[in-house]
Chain A
Amino acid sequence: MKQTQDTEQQATTLDQHLALLARMTQEFTASLDIEETLNNAIKQMMDVMHAEAASIFLLENDNTELVCRTCAGPIQLTGLRLAADHGIIGNTVKQNKVQMVLDVSTDPDFTAQVDEQTGFTTRSILCAPLTVKDRKLGAIELINKKTENGLFVEDDQHILTALASSAALAIHNAEMASALIEQERIQHELELAREIQANLLPSPSTDDFPVHGFNLPMREVSGDFYDYFTLPDGRIVFNLADVSGKGMNASLLMAKTSSLFHCLGKTQTSPGQLLHSINNEVHENSTRGMFVTMVGGIFDPTSNELILANAGHQPPMLQYADGHFEEIPGQSPPLGIMPNIEFPETKLQLADGTLYIYTDGVTESQQDGKMLGETGFQAMINAHRDKPVTTRIKAMFESLQREGRELHDDVTVLVIENNAIKTPSLALSVPAKANYLKQLRDSARKMVLTAGSSSEQADSIILAISEAASNIIQHAYKGDEGDIELNIHVDSNPEQPQLVINLRDYAKTIDVNEIRSRALDDVRPGGLGVHFMQQLMDNLVYTVPEDGRGNRLEMRIAIND
């Protein structure tokens, strides 16, 4: 009878154990709130396993400590920290094996430290490791079985092992879930940071503004930045910078440096002095080892003068109108390394050239394992050279993002070119009177100098224009009233760009054959003028305009041939 009772009791216990296992597994799976689940689980385990006390210890602090995360029983242990190798529980974790100590008083691993602190008397311990695959998480410990002898039995070991693996998986899942939530939170914050950062960059400019930039961050936030703004006197202050390192630290230093630039740049218009001030500020309270490379400058669209200062950044490239590139070097160290450094300035005439300031993310981008390099970047510029600046930037941006190109760093480019000068042209209409010739010459001279003609060539061109206009006054209008239209533009299509000069009148259409230069000894006004024009210009063509009225003369000359 006793045996039957025992068997029944065992069956009931087994049922209870299996039910607990099923319930806990379900709860663990359902809940991602690990604390609450563990609190419930530990109470149930204690009851079902008939233990006096139970606790779960998890490894923390780089696995150097075991911390009690939850417990049940007469003594509150939650928060208790033990060294990872402490006692039986430490041994369980270390050996990754269930430990059952029937009588702690005989076990050499048992330390009475906790008992001494709590007044609790430990007699018997059952301790199972919490592991997922090979990762050790901690251990579950049951203390003193509520039986007469207070000792755990073999079966208890198996049950706890099963419960422990279920709990370990739940802890692992919860950790993963909270890591995911944390990751999402960080992601969200990074997106905010990116938005803030993007707002620090100036809005895209239109084609007629001389400064343009683009930034392609590798991560959510960038260590690169650029800025430009116009001073009340019309000059434009600009910079491009690259903060050492990547990610959040770099972007915070970026935000600080760009604010300093934007603020100080409004009053300190000497780029060398400006970099000097920013350097001292950044150095004063920058994190050790972080620095910023920067090219700062100021551009005067009226005089076309460009002043640059370079703090450890790679040399910008100036592409001249004839297509060749020149590096504008600088020798000063980056910002933030040491205080009170001088940043020498480079002054240059932008003329109709284009300055490219860029970060090494551009030249270090790779395709088919090959770095783009300076030559590759120049080729990329040349491929889009004829496009207006905003279109060109967009095309370069797309090239850099093209499939198959690997970017290893933030990519930032600043382009400076004086667009008013890039495509210089002149359209002018004056009355056909001799006293307007000077105005024609003065306007034409200014334009052709802007287009790149030398002073000598400008002299020749205005002589030809003035002679042509004189002929219109004398021989086309013959003293009648009328207008002379002068148009000059640059034709960049020929290998050597040409100035195309058009003079148009509305007088009676003249027979082209009558216009010829006279023999040089027959010196009278008119004939000598045509001789000059033929000598000075590469090409002269008289045509009747499309509307059939008057005359048109087109003269062409290669710029500074």
Chain B
Amino acid sequence: MTKNSDSPVKFEIDDEQGYLVIRFEGEIDLYGTPHAREVILNCLKSERNTVIDLSAVSYIDSSGVASLVEGFQQAKDKQLEFGLINISDAVRNVLELAHLDKVFTIHASLDERIQAS
């Protein structure tokens, strides 16, 4: 498990059932996005299937959404799995507003995702 301390967006990464699970916490805005983006892209750089747990994200803006889209596109290029789990209402509303709720694969939990695949 990796844990950072000085980033405006806190995160944990767990290796579970063949996936790297990134659990973000806090508000992903213009200030937090560069850190979040770096974390996502690093996981994908290691050629691992990646899911992002957004249960503890209380706010996400267009820049945060953009970094999720970037991760989604890179994973597609690398033929890796990329998905969102456990998203908060705040995040779901913004994804719906961007019409991206149907673009990402979204599941309630990692187990549900594995069962669905």
Contact = CB atoms under 8 A, between A and B. Distances in A.
A467 B61 contact: yes
Contact of B29 (A434, A524, A528, A536): A434
A532 B90 contact: no
A531 interface: yes
A508 interface: no
A523 B100 CA distance: 10
B29 A466 contact: yes
Interface residues of B, number: 19
B93 A459 contact: yes
Contacts of B59: 441, 462-463, 466
B69 interface: yes
B90 A459 contact: yes
B30 A470 contact: yes
Contacts of B66: 523-525, 528
Interface in A56-100: none
Interface-central residue, B27, B33, B61, B99, by most chain A CB under 10 Å: B61
B31 A532 contact: no
B94 interface: yes
A142 interface: no
A1 interface: no
Given A520-B98, A532-B97, A437 B29 contact: yes
B61 A463 contact: yes
Main secondary structure, interface of A, reads helix
Interface string A458-470: 0110110011001
Contacts of B105: none
Interface string A527-549: 01101100110000000000000
A532 to B, nearest CB: 6
Contacts, number: 65
A473 interface: yes
B62 interface: yes
A113 interface: no
A470 B90 contact: no
A474 B98 CA distance: 20
A266 interface: no
Contact count band on A:
20 to 34
B74 interface: no
Given A435-B8, A525-B63, A473 B98 contact: no
B98 A525 contact: no
A473 B30 contact: yes
B65 interface: yes
A441 B65 CA distance: 18
Contacts of B94: 463, 532
Interface string B1-27: 000000010000000000000000001
A360 B30 CA distance: 59
Interface of B: 8, 27, 29-31, 33, 59, 61-63, 65-66, 69, 90, 93-94, 97-99
30 contacts: A437-B30, A441-B29, A441-B59, A456-B93, A459-B90, A460-B93, A462-B59, A463-B61, A463-B94, A463-B97, A466-B29, A466-B30, A466-B61, A470-B30, A470-B61, A470-B63, A473-B30, A474-B30, A520-B99, A525-B62, A525-B63, A528-B62, A528-B98, A529-B61, A531-B62, A532-B61, A532-B62, A532-B94, A532-B98, A535-B97
